[in-house]
Amino acid sequence: MATNISDTFQRQNAQSINYAFSKQSELYDRHDQSNPVLQAMRQQVYEHVERYLPSNANILELNAGTGIDALHFITRGHKVFATDLSDGMIFQLKQKQKIHRLENQLRVQQVSYDQLNELSGTEKFDFIFSNFGGLNCISDLTKVTRHFPAFLKPGSYLTVVIMPPVCPWELASIFKGKFGHAFRRLRKNGTRAQLEGESFQTYYHSLQRIRSAFGRNFQFISSEGLAALSPQPHHRNFPQKFPLIYKVLNKADGVFRKSFPFNRWADHIIVTFRYFPK
């Protein structure tokens, strides 16, 4: 009975996620391009990934959104199989595929990352990539990671960008009396997120939990904080209002983000594994 209730909740949650991100899809690129904080964070993710991404790689991307990251990788000579749950995001992906004539470089399929067994084809990939907290929409990461061995070549890498339970910027809300916001990530059963009038459950995963979810076939390679000391994306005007402080915080981030505790305490953490089947 408990399993049925849990499955029903997950289906309803997935439906709400689909609605929310479909509503957001039309304006997503515009908001991304106009946000200097988010642009800087995205660039940091790319610099991390490029340390492990082989030349002419075949990439499986989860929660690919409108294809911003997919197009970045394609312009650098890679191929991308982009997947997403959202109707709207898939529509935007297919539009870019058509407009840029990327049929040979970009494949698109609507599928949830906990149902990767439904992917078309049986090819193996050189890299798996998931950006900006898509995996925070599921409570049990093993429902995703259990599929990875079927799609990875031995020795290949994967990188996930996930929101952890501790974020210094949010904890600082204590000083404004916003205790609910400061500790929202620490709630055991997740917290409700609001997006485009839709509400859905989100979960925050510690580095320890992430490593445990990947299991013995995956070697942990590295982790680094993303916006550990520098501001979060919703502080989009911070660079204009406080340019000197923003510059100092970014520099400090560059120094400390790969070191404890800032490689696990941040707005997001970038985590890379390597696959060695046993």
The CATH number of the domain where 110 resides is what?
3.40.50.150
Q: What is the pLDDT of residue 255?
A: 97
Question: DSSP assignment, residue 53?
Answer: P
Instruction: Give the pLDDT band (50/70/90) at residue 3.
Output: low
Distance CA 30, CA 32 (A): 5
Residue 205 has pLDDT above 80, yes or no: yes
Q: What is the pLDDT of residue 4?
A: 64
Mean pLDDT for 261-274 is 98
Residue 252 has pLDDT above 80, yes or no: yes
Q: Residue 173 belongs to what domain range? A: 2-275
Tokens of 48: 């991390």
Instruction: Give the pLDDT band (50/70/90) at residue 1.
Output: low
Say whether pTM exceeds 0.85.
Answer: yes
Upstream peptide bond of 261 is cis (omega within 30 degrees of 0)? yes
Per DSSP bridges, beta strands 58-62 and 125-130 are parallel
Q: Is 3 exposed, middle or buried (0-12, 13-18, 19+ CB in 10 A)?
A: exposed
SS3 call for 273: strand
Q: Give phi and psi for 229, each to the nearest 5.
A: -110, -30
Distance CA 209, CA 201 (A): 18
Residue 2 has pLDDT above 90, yes or no: no
Distance CA 109, CA 82 (A): 7
Give the number of domains in the chain: 1
